[in-house]
Amino acid sequence: MNIEQVLAEFGRDYGFGQITLNAANMTRLEFQNGLTVDFEYREQNGLYLYGVVAAVERKPAVALLQALLEANAPAHNCDGFVFSIDSA
């Protein structure tokens, strides 16, 4: 199954309609509550999904940074999921 088929099936199964990638191999799902999830396909690495789940202060507290490091620790076996802070 190629990426176009995977996205088409996902869109059909979950009620999003036809999901297609643009020329940059990206697309975005926008939900009613304001949440957006970006999809980015890289042929050599696969499909990446990312989105903002919460805003943080410009200089996050040490405890938050420690929690992110712990959540991303290999011992947690997060199957490729990564939590991070982006300056955007």
**Model confidence, pTM:** 0.69
The residues of the chain scoring below 50 in pLDDT are none
- pLDDT value of position 10: 92
> Which residues, other chains included, contact 78 with Cβ-Cβ below 8 Å and sequence gap of 6+?
71, 72
- pLDDT value of position 77: 65
